[in-house]
A and B are shown apart, each in its own frame.
Chain A
Amino acid sequence: MTILTFTLLLLAGAYLAGLVGSLTGLGGGVVIIPLLTLVFHVDIRYAIGAALLASIANSSGAASAYVKEGITNIRLGMFLEIATTIGAVVGALIAVYTPTNTIAILFGSILLFSAAMTLRKKNQGALLVGSNFANKLKLNNSYPTTNGEVSYRLKNVGAGFSIMTIAGVFSGLLGIGSGALKVLAMDSTMHIPFKVSTTTSNFMIGVTAAASAVVYLQRGYMEAGIAFPVVLGVLCGAFTGSKLLPKMDARVLKYIFCTAIAFVAVEMIYNGYNHKF
Chain B
Amino acid sequence: MKKILSKQNLADHDIELFIGLQLRFGVLLSSLIVLTGGLLYLLQSGSLALPHYQLFIGEKAGLKTGREIWNGVTAIKARGIIQLGVVVLIATPILRIFFSLIGFIIEKDRLYVGITLVVLSVMMFSIFGGLKV
Contact = CB atoms under 8 A, between A and B. Distances in A.
A5, A42, A57, A225, most chain B CB atoms within 10 A: A225
Interface stretch (A13-21, A189-197, A228-236): A228-236
A224 B86 contact: yes
A259 interface: no
Contacts of B53: 40-43, 46, 223, 225-226
A226 B57 CA distance: 14
Contact of B19 (A4, A57, A59, A67): A67
Given A227-B34, A232-B34, A210 B90 contact: yes
Contact of B93 (A210, A218, A226): A210
B15, B80, B96, B115, most chain A CB atoms within 10 A: B96
Contact of B23 (A60, A86, A138, A231): A60
A68 B59 CA distance: 39
Interface string B71-112: 000000011101101110111111011001000000001011
A221 B17 CA distance: 34
Interface in A210-248: 210-215, 217-229, 231-232, 235
A210 B16 contact: no
A263 B46 CA distance: 34
Contact of B65 (A86, A218, A226): A218
A45 interface: yes
B87 to A, nearest CB: 7
Given A60-B27, A64-B27, A82-B122, A2 B38 contact: no
B86 A89 contact: no
Interface stretch (A27-35, A70-78, A117-125, A179-187): A70-78
A72 B47 CA distance: 46
A96 interface: yes
Contacts of B63: 220, 224
Nearest to A75: B112
A103 interface: no
Given A78-B116, A96-B133, A214 B90 contact: yes
A213 B131 contact: no
Interface string B34-62: 11011001100111111101111111111
Interface in A35-55: 40-43, 45-46, 53
Nearest to A87: B122
A224 B83 contact: yes
B83 A225 contact: no
B13 A70 contact: yes
A271 B38 CA distance: 32
B123 interface: yes
B126 A211 contact: yes
A110 interface: no
Please name the 8 residue pairs, one residue from A and one from B, whose CB atoms are nearest each other, closest first: A206-B93, A4-B46, A220-B58, A228-B38, A218-B132, A64-B24, A224-B82, A224-B79
6 contacts: A57-B31, A60-B26, A206-B23, A210-B123, A211-B122, A226-B53
